[in-house]
Amino acid sequence: MRPVIKGMCKFESLKNGKIDLADIALMNDALDVVADNEYLISQESEKEK
């Protein structure tokens, strides 16, 4: 559901089959990368204080 919550796709697309599991996996991987990068940036910002 993270791709839907983040606005990457619509819930209807999941339900009607326009988006398949590979698409969902790719979107989840991208969201994981964004989250990891944001965490690393925050950690580096804390070190610099």
Give me the DSSP letters along 15-38: HHTSS-HHHHHHHHHHHHHHHHHH
Q: How far apart are alpha carbons 49 and 47 in whole angstroms?
A: 6
pLDDT given for residue 27 in this prediction? 98
pLDDT given for residue 40 in this prediction? 97
pLDDT given for residue 48 in this prediction? 84
pLDDT given for residue 30 in this prediction? 98
Q: Are residues 3 and 28 in contact, defined by beta-carbon separation less than 8 angstroms?
A: yes
pLDDT given for residue 7 in this prediction? 97
Note the pLDDT tens digit of each residue in 2-46: 999 999 999 999 999 999 999 999 999 999 999 999 999 999 999
CA dist list (Å): 2 to 32, 39, 45:
10, 17, 26
Model pTM score = 0.84
The ranges assigned to domains in the chain are 1-48
